[in-house]
Structure 1
Amino acid sequence: MSLRPRVIVNPLLNTATTITRLRSLTSQLSFRQSPASRRPPNPNAIRAMSSLPSTMKAVSFSQTGGPDVLEYSESTPLPQLQDGQVLVKNNFAGVNYIDTYFRSGLYPAQFPFTPGQEAAGTIVKIQGANPLGFKEGDRVVWIKVGGYAEYTAVAADRVIKIPQGVSEENAVGSFLMGMTALSLIKEAYPVKKGDTILVHAAAGGMGLLLTQMLREFGCTVIGTAGGPEKCALAKENGAHHVIDYKATSGPSWVEQVLKLTNGEGVDCTYDGVGKDTWEGDLEVAKRKSKVVYYGNASGPVPPINITRLTAKNISIMRSTLMGYIVTRPELEYYASGVLDMVKDGKLKIKIHKIYPLAEARQAQEDLEGRRTTGKLLLKL
């Protein structure tokens, strides 16, 4: 049986009057309909919202140790949103040394812990007030924790929209490392045109971005890397001089840096290696120069007798990006600085490899084994 709308005819109204009133009503309704309501809804957002699962794929660990403590699961409960958070369906997550610091116990973590400081994807849900104007379906990149998972609940003020023309891979491939590099040269040691800067691990993900930025700022870059292929890559990305620290013959990297600087040393060293390089850093430091540590790839720098800095008035510091992006304006400043450079083609992103989420353990093994160049990503 078909259901037809019931029509009530008022005999007091003639046909002409009825038609006139109907036209008037239709015109009013059309006028009141806003342009936004006439726009077709974002099909990706509708699809995501209508198909949110109760569980997801994720990688976590419940004890510290080597990469073998990482556990892959396909039945992790979906995170519950709190006010001020957005739920992001992650498509790519960055793999960084800081992930290994939490896993190894160098940095404290609450178990079970899902690593991953950054990811890129799509907003599928928004909870509570939304002063930043995000919409379901927005392409975003974020910085927090929990990136080794299909979905992450992220505080909205830690989320940045991806500009048009920038892929999700390049957004997350440049995000944490790019902001770290920019904070080093803007605040940790504000570089000046003509400075001579030493960059360790110049063929790594961080080193490649840092070298390109330093070249853009008019600095002379001396890079160190392990092996001919990595040295060539560092050179291709802007290093003026590259030293192979794995070379079994010839002068040490310290001797080569001093030779390149006519015995004066460098204005600043940016060191993400740590334990293996810190003593050499002090030897190649110029008078009144600075050594900035931002990572511990070979282990943390041991306690230093401060009198070792006296002869050349050397300053040292341990920098962290998180100390420079505490506020929303600070995050926006560094994020836009990096993503604009990517969009304009001034910053080239080298993706070493994209691993399936289930191979997160292998990704961290490759990173710690220094078998990589450029950025490592997980596909979610």
Structure 2
Amino acid sequence: MLKFPVEVILFIASVLLFLSIVLSKFTAKMGVPTLLGFLLLGLVFGNGGEYDFRYDYPEFTLRLGQIALSIILFTGGLDTDLEKIKPVLRQGLMLSTIGVLVTALVAGLTIYWLSPLNFMTALLLGAIISSTDAAAVFSILESKGMKLGGKIFPTLELESGTNDPMAYFLTITISSMILEGGEFSLWTFLWKFIYSMGVGMLAGILIGYLMINTLKILKLKVGLNPVLVLTMILFTFSSMELIGGNSLLAVYVAGIVVANYRINASYLANFFEGVSWLMEIVLFLTLGLQTFIFDLPNTIFLGLIVSLILMFVARPVSIFLCLAFFKQTFKEKLYISWVGLRGATPIVFALYPVLYQVPEAKLLFNIAFFVVLTSILFQGSTISVVAKWLKLI
């Protein structure tokens, strides 16, 4: 039960959020992503924290996370310039599909060999932590004013913006397989992949064009146009969830279509940039609240093993394998493998097993949380150092 009146809680929350936003200008320069502060803020005030506040609503947190990720990915699509990513289109798509699959497989197999988790649970954990976070990566790169040479920046941009749908598909599919008794059929897996991705891609293109033509036909006031687009994002997400299409891929593709069509989408980009930041803040804060702080010490050893596997085995193997046939130097591949920061997405995906009541789901959630913390703190704080060491800036 809350100890303070609602007005006091709102006052404290608003002051803390304001101070966090102001201090974010300085924390980012230290190599720590701004959003980490909101994650830790939720952790401190949440379950087991000093203020005896209990928050345990995994389904609400997951649904909120889904909506937030949809808006964030649509905004990522709006920020994607097809002309800039064309030179790295094959690399980026390879990393965001095959790369995520390889990361999940290598991580899952290694975790299975080095931990007490059974094979399917280890594979599910590999899928949960297989995608990178664009917000975490670029908040550091931009704050430090880093100008990476070659094709590194556009490759990272395309990969981090497009790899969530694949990780989402793997998490849902493997969770379903565990609940169905662990039976695996390659043909069933391939059919689900083709259907999910195909429907998501097609829907994204169609709804993107529908957004454009609706804006043109209705000719609403400028202030109403973003609201209309927001409702269509929610429609895209919900409709894909109902028919089994990949909702995250659909909203991202829709954003790309809107941004690269011949309309002035700058006001949409400005609006959704602010909304996306709000979604990021709410998402990280809520995920911190959902985490039980006293459960984390019990997962430190296993979480550290998983983090090391991801950073030094699974991620490098996937990067060097996928980029083996592209003209990028060894140093560039090495740096791309290092700049694979995990953000809110793995924690959101870890809520699916909790909601589906998959065995050991709570352990997977805590490990995913620990992996995100170590990735942001360790990899995030050394992005510029490694770039200088490899002489890429």
TM-score (norm 2): 0.23
Structure with the higher helix share, 1 or 2: 2
Structure with the higher strand share, 1 or 2: 1
Question: More relative contact order in 1 or in 2 (CA 8 Å, sep 6+)?
Answer: 2
TM-score (norm 1): 0.24
